Every structure is written in C-alpha cells, then in structure tokens.
Structure 1
C-alpha cells in the first residue's frame, strides 16, 4: 500500500540483492482455500503442466491482491508457484523482471518513481498508467489495465466533524476554513519532505507558519499508525491517510477529494512478465475482468478484515472472488 512507496530508488536498489538472496523462491504464506469453477474458466488449449508464478510484497493489501491472483491462476488452469509475501518492492520487482515470477499487482506511481526513476508523480490516473505501460515494455514488463483503486495519500476528517466544518468534502474547501479549524495530523516524513505537507498546503492556497492560515502549532507529528486514531479522537481535524487503509472504514473517517490534483496516482494494475504473457495472452483478459471491481472501497473492506478482524489474507481473497462469481466454493 502507500507506506514506503515514495522511498528513493537508490535506497531500495542497495538492499534488493540482499533481500532476494534471503527470501528464496518460496512463500511464508502459500495457503489458499480450494476453489471450484466460476466465471474464470481454464484457458483453451492450456497444457496440463503450465505453471504460473505469482509474487507480491509483504503487507496486507499486497497479500490480499496476491492471493486473488493465485486463485485466478488456479481457476484458469495453471499449476501455481506461490511467491507472495516477498519483503520489499525491489525484490518482488526483480522476480517479475527476471521471469522467476509470471505476474504481480503493482502501483503505477511506485513503478514511475521507484523503478523508472522519475522524481515527480502524475496526478492524472490514466496518463500515469499509460506512461508507465509504455516505458516498462522496454524492460520486458507488460502492464494490464489499471483498477479504479488508487492507494495514494489523502486527507481524512472524522465523519461527525464534517458538518461542523461546513460540510467539507473537497480539499479546495480548506481555504475557506478558520485557522483554528485547520489542524493536521501527519507523520514525520510527510511533514518535512519536499513533496509533503507544506507544498500540499501551498497547492491549496494555504501557508504553513502563517497565523492567519496554518500556524505551526496547528500541525501535530505522529507515528504513521497513530494518525488514524488521533484524527478520529479529534486531536486534529485533518489526518494524513492512505486511501485503501481499512482503518478509514473501521473509524468512519471521510476522505477529502483531492480536487486540484496534488497527490500522484497510485492505481494498482496486473503486471506481467512479457514472455509469460506472450505465451499465455488469455491471462490479460482474465485480469481485465477482475481489475475493474477493485475499488478503494473494496480494498478498504478487505484490508479491514485482515488488519482489524484478524482474518487470513487468503480467506479474505477467496470470499471476495466467490462473491464476484470468479470462482465457487467446492
């Protein structure tokens, strides 16, 4: 998900080789429930020994998405090599690039800035996907169509305070609030980085450190995980969140629309090793059915089931795939 996705490429590259060596080509969480047939059918003419290797990173959202891919591959008739739960973005990317993995779910903004080395993200979601798709073809990596879910930064407000703050729904409405109401909870990185809080405020016509706008005393710096509860309890009116975090739903927080396009796009998409997709082009169609149903709301609900209710990612993915009719219970 969002945490760590703006880390500079050099730092990740420095650890990639070590992590690849350490993780091995096996998963610490390869369990998935047995699935029956659904709308995903075995690919026509698929050899009996056809293998599909699925990788993912090692946090909740990626594990859920990885298990969705595993179940889709099984339903399409593949023997699955489950390489989900890899520690780090670069090691998972290297498995895909090298052909040791057939596919994974990846975020457009992560690829654009972390893998392809661009300093600035693109807020327009379609444009960001298109540019990543075009450039990554040179690396032997083929991006499927993106999902609606966009796991980027956002500002959230506790829902019971929305009316008190004038029915606020958009970030452009921040400028119309009194300075006493412009209180923010952010983490240390977002507070200080060049593409963090201060330029975000400026983008929306506000000034950090100005007593008539956003006084410095209005900004509280918290550990990332504490921001959600601090926002919910009213320590601040606006908290820095990631848009698909399950705590948004659990705490009934409301995300403000980034209507002037400050935050880069981080849509998730199925990403394939080019040789694998060339051999089995039908898998692009399989994932083209799944991706449109992966919305921010759906991922928040699935992440909540794992992070708040303690369920296994594989079970959450299985129930979602059954609900959508892609597979059935045996």
Structure 2
C-alpha cells in the first residue's frame, strides 16, 4: 500500500510541476489590410504590450473573410470588426438597424453563441461612401446618391467606377446600393466601366480622372485632401459600421484583464479623430505604428517610458 501511495505522489508531481511553470501563449492580434484597420490593430498591439500582455502582431492579415475565418479557427485571437459587416456579411441579416448601440448588442449576442466576445465599440461610424471630384459633381448637379442614380439613367454607359472587389459584390456594398437606388446591377453600369483595385487607390483613381466616382469610407483622410465630395446617402442605404475588438472567449479566460485594457480604446475614437489618424498615414506618409503610438500617448493610455 505504501509503495502504491508513493508511486501516486510521484506521478502527481510530474503532472503538477509543468503546470506550475505554464504561461499562456501570446495574444495574436490581427487586422484587415486597409489603413484604418492597420492603425486600429497597431493600437491594440501596443496597448497590450504596454500593459504587459505578450502579443504576436498579425496586423495586415487580409480581408474581412480571412480575418473572420482565422478568428473562428483559433489562428488569431482578436481583431477589430465593424458591426454592420457582421450583421450583413456574417449573419446574413436583411433588415437595416439604425440604432448604433442596438446593432452592437445584436451582433454581440449572436457571436456569444460562437464563443466570440465583442468588447467596447468605438464612437465613430466608418460607413461606406461614394465620392466624386467636387467640381465635376457640382457641374453635373450630383449631390446625393439619388442624383447619381438619376444621372446614370439619363446617361447610360457613361458612369465609370473605382472600387475594390469585395465592396463591389457585397449586399451592403455597391451591388446592394445600386439595387436600392433603382439601378440594375451589371447593366446600368456595364462591367467594362468598373475598375477594380485596392481600396486606397479608388480615391486616387477619381482624383486622376480614371473613374468618375469611387468607393470610400466616411473616415478617409484623403477626401478633403483630394477636393472630393461624399454623395449624400439620402435614402439611408448604408448601414452603421462601428468597430469593436472581437476576441475569442477562451483568450479572455486566459487573460481576463485584456477585456478591461481594450475597452479603454473606443471612447476616445470619434469620427474626427479617426479621420485625422487616417490622414496622417495616407496623406502625410507616416507609418501606422508611429501614428498609433502617438495617439496612445496623446490620450494618456500609454505613458512614455523614462530612460
């Protein structure tokens, strides 16, 4: 009996000792590839590092679906997603929810069943927009998307568009917008008139007269810099897009403090702030990591270390 007891104690020691030195792995922080997303990703990376959380930087991972699938499969742990994107693209909802927090609570509740937690959202709404050069839009009398649709009907085959491939085919993107404003997708604007390119190039294509209109985001810093006009979404097609960190529940169980750390980001990010941050990268040529660092210090979330 004594030998069996001693053997059990020895086995228990082998089981416990490795656990005593166990540390959770780094938090894999990812982002989509466009400027705003990279800045948001760098903000999360740097804030977590500053608070002593081990982090692996996976920013600029890829598009929406790449990040979502990686999150669901446990290849990444957290990235910033937009409420409208989740509502329409992931959950395939048809109704448009006009209340910002109402939409947030809905997507949060749905994803809770998937083991994913939506943390505190940012204030800004980075909804989609269609832009034209202000001078040309004024000359053609186009101020709203209704004006835009009416012009297209009167001038078939004339409108040219710069867009990324994802936005072009999305239900909450160009395809849905055309149908919502009474246009036939693929017909009123022929496929030959659609120039597909990376998101940052769309506004440049409009500026350089390679396209009459282009996709943009409401917080794009280049819109004013390029003397462009956002066409008013007068019928209210585009949904609300508030970003929030979406993190795997299992990661919060390992690092419960991460919730409180990342919840500090959203309240200080309004539309004006995000537009300025995007401007610094896209127009001034600053690095996303540098912009993230200066913003974190500016709002007091990270204190500069004394040498």
TM-score, scaled relative to structure 2: 0.69
Deviations 1:225-281 (A, max 9, x none): 554234335666643323344432431323234242212333210112213334554
Deviations 1:60-106 (A, max 9, x none): 33322111001221233323333334345455445544556443212
Q: How does 1:219-230 map to 2 (within 5 A)?
A: 220-225=193-198, 227-230=202-205
Count of aligned positions = 275
CA distance in 2, matches of 1:193, 1:58: 17
CA distance in 1, matches of 2:60, 2:204: 27
**Which of 301, 304, 327 pairs up with 2:276?**
301
Q: 1:66 to 1:75 in 2, by over 3 A?
A: same
Q: 1:220 to 1:69 in 2, by over 3 A?
A: same
CA distance in 2, matches of 1:239, 1:90: 22
Shift of 1:137: 0.5
Q: 1:162 to 1:292 in 2, by over 3 A?
A: farther
**Which of 212, 230, 241 pairs up with 2:216?**
241
Q: How does 1:1-330 map to 2 (within 5 A)?
A: 53-59=27-33, 60-90=35-65, 92-97=67-72, 101-116=76-91, 118=92, 120=94, 122=96, 124=98, 125-160=100-135, 164=139, 168=143, 170-172=144-146, 174=148, 179=154, 183=159, 185-187=161-163, 197=174, 200-201=177-178, 203-204=180-181, 206-207=182-183, 220-225=193-198, 227-233=202-208, 238-278=213-253, 280-330=255-305
Q: Which has the larger radius of gyration?
A: 2
CA contact (8 A) 1:55 1:85 kept: no
Deviations 1:36-59 (A, max 9, x none): xxxxxxxxxxxxx67651321351
Q: Which has the higher helix share?
A: 2
Q: Aligned with 1:222: secondary structure?
A: strand
CA contact (8 A) 2:88 2:172 kept: no
Deviations 1:289-326 (A, max 9, x none): 31133344433433343344443321121111112221
Shift of 1:135: 0.9
Q: Aligned with 2:196: secondary structure?
A: coil
TM-score, scaled relative to structure 1: 0.65
CA contact (8 A) 1:123 1:263 kept: no
The alignment's C-alpha RMSD in Å is: 4.0
Number of the residue aligned with 1:21: none
Q: 1:185 to 1:134 in 2, by over 3 A?
A: same
CA contact (8 A) 2:85 2:241 kept: yes
Q: 1:279 to 1:200 in 2, by over 3 A?
A: same
Q: 1:121 to 1:299 in 2, by over 3 A?
A: farther
Of residues 295-304 and 190-199 in structure 1, the stretch that sits farther from structure 2 once superposed is: 190-199
